[in-house]
Amino acid sequence: MGSDCSRSSQEGSSILARNIRALDTEDAEILFSSIFIGVTETLRRVKTQSGILLDLACTSENTDIEDLAKLPVNVELQEEIHNSFDVSNLLCQAVDAGFEKIIKILRVRSEQTISLPLASFLRYFTLSVLFANEREAISGRAGALLKTIINDHILRFIAAHGERENKILTGGMGSDNLQDKDFAVTDNEILELVLQCSTSDPPEWTEISKIWSLSQEVDMSNVTEDSEVKNKARPATIDEETFLLPSSAILCLKGTSKFLRLIGGIPSMTPDITVSLISYLQTFDFRCRQLILGAGAILSAGLQNISTTNLVVALQAVTFIATVIPYICEFVRRHAPAGRPSANLVGEFDRVRRAF
């Protein structure tokens, strides 16, 4: 009988775990939000009610002995109740019970969490940190295990994000025919934000972390680009200097923007994210040289030969990214914690730029 109950419980847990893993991004966020809000409100009520009970107990203890003798309740029984009633322990038990379940759910969703799109992960991070801080404020307990799990998710996401972006960049550069590509309106908007971030965080980047707003992807299907009717590609412009770019340089700009948004969303992890960003920029530089000097573009993009035009476009791509790097460096400098390790990271950007 006992083994049947145990087996049934295990099967139920397995089904629940499978269903939790199967949730899509939006449903998972709704689940976490409802759980975090529910647990937080419950803890608030428990704290309030336990405080009321404690006040009643203190009032009873301050009652004169003569008054107690007149009460119908047995004094010895009342003292026993007071001694056995530990208000702080009651709150701690409520906190532990709620957190035990939450931690299990977070662990079950680990693989799905580190695979989230950037905006969704930043929302998850913000939601989890707010909950952990609120829990600590209510109960006075730090919740080290919860923070450990969140930090583990962050580190794994940073690594996975870097791998994904490097893979996208390498694939895009491999198929690049090294011809001028139109620098569209949306591309220019991304560039403007990257340039702006050297002095202040663009509101467009901070908005994605606001969990109180609806999570929604930008729909570009209705955006009309007039590049289709243009015969001449539009250049990118930085401080009145223009660059006619291949698709790989635009792809690198977009990828770099994602790393910067990640730093802005989780400033405490700036050193780790910056290491990944530097590796990304080095990949771009290495692949550019490989495609030209190693004639890799002939094989990967199907070019018959490397022309002077291809060389000029490739040089423009490298020069463009090198021009953007100082803006990136200032953004990292603003977010990196003080100390020698951060100074070394900033110095690494100078070495990367000189390599370009």
- 241 forms beta bridges with 238
Q: 0.75 cut: is pTM over it? A: yes
Query: Do 298 and 304 contact (CB within 8 A), yes or no?
Result: yes
Query: Do 264 and 201 contact (CB within 8 A), yes or no?
Result: yes
Query: Do 108 and 17 contact (CB within 8 A), yes or no?
Result: yes
Among the listed residues 185, 198, 25, 205, the one whose alpha carbon sits nearest the alpha carbon of residue 115 = 25
Rounded Cα distance between 286 and 290, Å, is 6
pLDDT by 10s per residue, the chain, length 356: 555 556 666 777 788 889 999 999 999 999 999 988 888 888 888 777 766 766 666 665 555 545 545 555 555 555 555 555 555 566 667 667 777 888 999 999 999 999 999 999 999 999 999 998 888 888 777 778 888 999 999 999 999 999 999 999 999 998 888 889 999 999 999 999 999 999 999 999 988 877 776 555 444 444 445 444 456 789 999 998 999 999 999 999 999 999 999 999 999 999 999 999 999 999 999 888 877 666 555 555 555 666 778 788 888 999 999 999 999 999 999 998 887 677 788 788 888 888 87
